[in-house]
Structure 1
Amino acid sequence: MGAAVVLQNAYIPKFGLDLAGGTTVTLSPETLDNKAPSQESLDRAVNIIRDRVNGQGISDAQVARASDNILIQIPGAGQEEALKLVATTAELRFRQVLAVAPAQEQPAALPSDAASPAPSGTLPAVTPSAAASPAASPAGRAVSKALQAPSPGASAEAGQGNQQQGNNQQGGNQQGNGKKKNAEPSPAASPLVTTQPSADPNAAADPLAGQDLSGIDPAVLQQFKDLKCTANNKGAGVLDDPNKQFAACDESGTAKYILDVAAVQGSEISTASAGVRQDTGEWVVNLDFKSAGATKWSELTNKTFNSQPPRNQIGAVLDGVVVTAPVSNGRITGGKTEISGSFTSQTATELADQLKYGALPLKFKVSSTVSVSSTLGADQLRGGLIAGGIGLVIVMLYLLLYYRGLGLVGIASLMVATVVTYLSVVVLSANAGFRLSLPHIIGLVVSIGITADSFIVYFERIRDEMKEGRRSLRTAVEVAWKRARRTILVADAVMFIAALVLYFLAVGDVAGFAFAMGLTTVIDIVVVFLFTKPLMSLVARMKFFAKGHPLSGLDAERMARTDSSSTSTLQEA
């Protein structure tokens, strides 16, 4: 841990809301019918947002309801990444593409042998796969270029202006069908060009000329025509109703789509994780659908596979924006899908976390974002640290007065435990989002007594073995350890279980206290087993302790006097 602290140049832990202040965000729900959201959906949203902003529950973020709004307090200033997680619905929906056209108007006339060049971007091609703009979105979410069944052997091959992925082989018939599909590539598969370039000015004025518009809601057609796409598009303010057809832009603002009702929704995703493909080394997001979602996904890929362009594409819509529109080249079964594209470690992990922590049942807008000052500040932090220091000194004095020279072993163990605890807090703060708050400090101070108890149990076992000269110190240290370690483990196990239950049943400050108590309990076991016991084995070889010097705390007269006084007290009682 010391090496990690030095390498990361992180020597001071981050502080929580009560000690360092932070940002307060107010989220207001938006519903399709403008009615008040249900209490159940708000409660679910609170739980999901708490998971997102609080990670493993140690970041000291606070999430609570205030009427129909949700208040989030995020420790630290400038928590932009956490705000993105809070503001987004992260609702991924897979829809069949019904029609597609370039977002910008094309020239009125084009020679038949020179179609208008597509805007920046590339063409999706095969096996639930697509190629799109390589640029990541401002939100840190990469535009994906492939949705496919996980296959280490599949790799992208770049062409001139287009990218094509290897076929997903699901059996002899599907493989044969895939070859048939690819034998006659159609411009209609591209979201960036019209189906049939024409010199007719009237045809050029209609971006959907030549495409099959059957089954498309006239209102959605009008919505499509009125839709204005821009770079870094955020859905053009249109709510994504999964039960209705939908017109949307892609993130680069170069193409717009008409999509069918959602066939598979984000709630059907069981898990999501970021990883690296072994064959290409590119970052991908792996999706694992639930049983019902796997069936729906198989049906969707089969349906699109048997459709004509551009209806053989599957639009992946995230937060009202088309992030990819791959061409289906076969049915994908098994419920496992891979999203690949221009991902980095950060962007792949961010998208996986959003999907893993669940899709919000409501769409929210940020009503206000306010920076707040710390509620306690430096004075209270200093007071907590002074209290902890005083408690540590009192325990050390007690060990010296009662155990004399043997107490030095206990003091050394306490110092090691203190250093390990501090390093653990710093490492967790740098790598796991841990933020030190007053409840954490209280938990750490209380744990001083827990740590001292372990040493005392061991020391008393040693003295019991040495009374009346029955054993030598070296023998007593080993025999006493066998008896003491069971007691230490049982006591620490009870304390750890209590901390664990409190951590999972409570939230906020109480959970923070439980986390600190559980952490120090684990550290206590590590220190006793890896430091205190080996140190006592070395001490037993020293004449000062082995011969029972009066100041060693192991002299026969002192132990006998302690034993007789204890017996007298018990008889009188």
Structure 2
Amino acid sequence: MHPGRQLAVLGAIFVVLYLLVFFAGGASGSFTDRLHPKLGLDLVGGTQATYIASVQGGQVPSKESMEQARGIIEQRVNALGVSEAEVVIQGDRNIVVSLAGKADDQLKDLSQAAQMRFRLLVGTTGDVSSVALNPPSAAPSAAPSGAAPSGSAAPSAGASAPAATSVPSSGGQGGGEVVKAPTPSATPSASPSAPAPSASAQAPASPDQEAARAAVQKKVGAAAWAAAEKLTAPVDLSSNPKAGLPFAPFAKLSGEEVNALSPQMQYNVPTIGCKQLDDRPNGAIDDVKTQVVACYQSAKILLDKAPVVGDDINKASPQLDQQSGQWVVSLDFKSEGSTKWAALTRQAFEATATDPCYVAAQSLYGSIEHCAVAVVLDKNVISAPQIQGVLTGTSQITGQFNAGSAKQLADQLNFGALPVTFSSGPAQTVSATLGIQQLQAGLLAAAIGMGLVAIYAFFYYRLLGSVIFMSLILSGLLTFGALVFLGRTVGFTLTLAGIAGFIVSLGVAADSFVIYFERLKDEIHDGRSPRSAVPRAWARARRTIISANAITILAAVVLYIVSVGAVQGFAFALGLSTVLDLIVVFLFRHPIMTMFASTKAFLSPRVSGLGRVLRRASTDPKEA
């Protein structure tokens, strides 16, 4: 063999790893700062956020719903399985999430319900971005064509005005794709483009809703309420600005008060604007059996019932689109969901020019060929693309995503929607449960233990002890570089449990030394020369070493899959360090032993550590 080649490969691995540590994965700060691993909550403290569950009517959510929500939130924050967040239920309606370090960005979107709905666009009232929120002293005027959107919904995934596309399916009927909505060629008209939602489309109001509507009726006054109830279509303010005066009190309503109104009233009343619609509570437009009102591109739009929902999606995954170079979220539908999706796209594709959805899309976009289907996530319309064919294949949500926001949306869809809605409670900084001093004490104890192992190795194996010592050093450097890089790129958090996993792996590494060296002694005892005994001992020992390490890795994988939190971190650390130890075994230990076998020191019983085995072999030589 050529040991120099294997050592060169190991050197190249070290160079690449530490180049990644110092210059990749968002590395910043001084070189010392770049060598800091990501520490867990028990070592450095972190951020704690509280989410308060609420259901309609102020009822207490069931224990089953809270436990399901806790599990979904934990899956979201531990999407990679190694960040070791603490997610616990407190009381009847609180879920507390604790993450190591400053985690405000990670915590802010955890409570989003992630209810995805696909709805046909059936109406639009045009630009309502400049609707006054206070009763006007003069007649309200229509929004100018150049008005900047102030109340349009922003996608929760961080995308700005994304659109949906679809990968054409070879087995699809008619092929086609869902294309990005074109830029409007003309200012949308404020004239009504579709009938208001009919009474048959609305679910009966609950007693709580009736009480809330009564309170709103009292606030706006009998005259304004009566005028709103008589509306059967949106009021056209572009031709008659004074037509909005009777409805001025509705501009004073909050988002929660607007949510108490029927979709018919939300859509038809001209002084209810996008700001109020966006301020409605979570879950405001989740009902799949009714039409709903939302905002998109500053326009108030009417959406039909939702025949396709997030539960119809089998898998969502972030992907980098090869043609556009942009991040997208790919959607694979379940069998039944694919059938529903094909039926919805067929309805949009085959609509005629007199259908409400066609008129609505024409009003919103100026020039269209087919109806549009809105992709709704919670309260936000994240896209409303036109349908260019009957779709049966894989579809995509596209937009101004980056890798993080695309993955976040995919994770929300994969892990499911929260069974109850949450509002964000207080967030605070928490101190470490163990602290840096305990970490330093633990590392000091580990160093002392490793030093004792090295002393014993030199005493028992002498020259071979240097192989043990150097192997442990190299394995430690590989492990340290890997955990720093993984902490920065995939969120691996080093906790006390993880440190325990790394220390346990040292025992596995020590076992492989014993197996190899004792096999080497057996070969020499059988009469072979040290130079001949090294490769033969390696050939026999490596099978045992691989088997022992494979069992450890398999146990770590199983433990990682079936566990959560700190135990999962222990399993990850144990598996990672065992894999890295195997790399050191094959690329350093065997090559260096081959090199040592050619030295005079290795042939000396007093220096090599082979002791009386070499003396016996020298008095009774045999052919190797």
1:506-540 deviations in whole A, cap 9, x for unaligned? 22222222222122211221111111111111111
- The letter of the residue matching 1:525 is L
Which residue in the other structure is 1:313 paired with?
372
Amino acid paired to 1:241: D
Asked if 2 retains the 8 angstrom alpha-carbon contact of 1:405 and 1:553, the reply is yes
Q: Deviations over 1:447-494 (max 9, x none)?
A: 2221111111111111110115x1122221111111111111111122
CA offset at residue 139 of structure 1? 5.3
Q: What's the counterpart of residue 221 of structure 1?
A: 264
Report the CA distance between 1:104 and its aligned residue: 3.5
Q: Report deviation, 1:16.
A: 0.5
Change (3 A) 1:558 1:315: same
CA contact (8 A) 2:52 2:95 kept: no
- Return closer, same or farther for 1:95/1:507 CA change in 2, 3 Å cut-off: same
Q: Which moved more, 1:340-349 or 1:476-485?
A: 340-349
Correspondence for 1:565: none
The answer to whether the 8 Å contact 1:388/1:445 transfers is yes
Contact 2:288/2:305 (CA < 8 Å) preserved in 1? yes
Q: Quick check: 1:460 aligned with 2:518?
A: yes
8 Å contact from structure 1 (residues 248, 320) kept in 2: no
CA distance in 1, matches of 2:534, 2:75: 47
Partner of 1:149: 166
Distance 1:488 1:109 in 2: 81
> Contact (CA 8 Å) 1:235, 1:248: kept in 2 or not?
no
8 A Cα contact 1:144 1:339, kept in partner: no
Tell me which moved more, 66-75 or 451-460: 66-75
- The SS at the match of 2:262 is helix
Quote the residue 1:213 is aligned against.
none
Report the CA distance shift for 1:232/1:477 in structure 2 as closer, same or farther (over 3 A): farther
- When structure 1 is superposed on structure 2, of 15-24 and 71-80 the one drifting more is 71-80
| CA displacement 1:142-197 (0-9 Å, x = unmatched) | 13442232259xxxxxxxxxxxxxxxx9539x89xx9xxx9xx997xx87754578
> What residue in structure 2 maps to residue 55 of structure 1?
79
Aligned to 1:65: 89
State the one-letter code of the partner of 2:20.
A
Deviations 1:355-410 (A, max 9, x none): 23322222111222221111110111011101110111111111111111111111
Quick one: distance in 2 between partners of 1:220 and 1:483? 77
- Counterpart of 2:588 (choices 522, 527, 531) is 531
The residue that corresponds to 1:290 in the other structure is: 334
1:521 aligns with 2:578: yes
Partners of 1:229 and 1:236 within 8 A in 2:
no
* 1:16-36 CA distance string (max 9 Å, x none): 111111112222222234333
Question: Distance in 2 between the 1:246 and 1:21 partners?
Answer: 47
Alpha-carbon deviations, 1:20-53, whole Å to 9, x = none? Answer: 1111222222223433323333222222211111
Are 1:117 and 2:145 matched, yes or no? Answer: yes
Paired amino acid for 1:550 = R
Q: Which SS does the other structure have where 2:285 is aligned?
A: coil
Question: Residue 323 of structure 1 corresponds to which residue in structure 2?
Answer: 382
Asked if 1 retains the 8 angstrom alpha-carbon contact of 2:475 and 2:584, the reply is yes
Checking the alignment, whether the CA contact within 8 Å between 2:115 and 2:286 is kept in structure 1 is no
Alignment of structure 1 residues 188-267 onto 2, 5 Å:
193-195=190-192, 200-201=239-240, 205=244, 219-224=262-267, 225=269, 227-230=272-275, 233=278, 235=280, 239-250=284-295, 254-267=298-311
Deviation at 1:343, TM superposition (A): 2.8
Contact kept in structure 1, 2:61 and 2:93, CA below 8 Å: no
Asked whether the 8 Å contact 1:249–1:257 carries over to 2, the reply is yes
Deviations 1:402-421 (A, max 9, x none): 11111111111111111111
- Once the two structures are TM-superposed, the CA of residue 54 in structure 1 deviates from its matched residue by 1.4
SS in 1 for 2:424: strand
Aligned pair partner of 1:44 in 44, 52, 68: 68
The match for 1:128 is: none
CA distance in 1, matches of 2:43, 2:346: 56
CA distance in 2 between partners of 1:203 and 1:331 (Å): 44
Equivalenced residues, count: 507
Q: Following the alignment from structure 2 to structure 1, what is the Cα–Cα distance between the partners of residues 574 and 614? A: 35
d(CA) in 2 for partners of 1:542, 1:244? 83
**Which residue identity does 1:141 align to in structure 2?**
G
Letter in 1 for 2:19: A
1:155 maps to which residue?
A: none
8 Å CA contact 1:109–1:204 kept in 2: the answer is no
Return the alpha-carbon distance in structure 1 between the equivalents of residues 572 and 51 of structure 2.
Answer: 28
Write the distance in 2 (CA, Å) between the matches of 1:186 and 1:2: 53
User: Is the counterpart of residue 412 in structure 1 residue 466 in structure 2?
Assistant: no
Contact 2:121 2:360 in 1 (8 A): yes
> In the superposition, relative to structure 1, how do residues 238 and 290 fare at CA in structure 2: closer, same or farther (>3 Å)?
closer
Indicate if the aligned counterparts of 1:403 and 1:553 stay in contact, CA closer than 8 A: yes
Q: Which amino acid aligns with 1:85?
A: D
Q: 1:103 aligns with which of 94, 115, 128?
A: 128
**How high is the TM-score relative to the length of structure 1?**
0.80
Moved more, 1-10 or 15-24: 1-10
Secondary structure of 1:250's match?
Answer: strand
Equivalent in 524, 530, 541 of residue 598 of structure 2: 541
- Aligned partners of 2:470 and 2:613: how far apart in 1? 26
Contact kept, 8 Å, 1:247 with 1:256, in 2: the verdict is no
1:237 to partner: Cα distance:
5.7
* Counterpart among 171, 174, 179 of residue 171 in structure 1: 174
Query: Which structure 2 residue ranges, 5 or more long, are not aligned?
Result: 1-16, 29-33, 132-138, 194-235, 246-259, 362-370, 618-624
The answer to whether the 8 Å contact 1:235/1:249 transfers is no
Say whether 1:501 aligns with 2:558.
yes
* CA distance in 2 between partners of 1:199 and 1:240 (Å): 28
User: Residue deviations 1:27-85, cap 9 Å, x none?
Assistant: 22222343332333322222221111112221121112234335343333431222133
Which residue of structure 2 lines up, in the alignment, with residue 564 of structure 1? none
Change in Cα spacing, 1:18 to 1:218, as seen in structure 2 (3 Å) is closer
Paired position in structure 2 for 1:81: 105
Identity rate, percent: 37
Aligned to 1:16: 40
Q: Distance in 1 between matches of 2:421 and 2:404?
A: 24
Cα distance, 1:298 vs structure 2: 1.0
- 1:273 alignment partner, one of 305, 317, 328: 317
2:517 matches 1:474: no
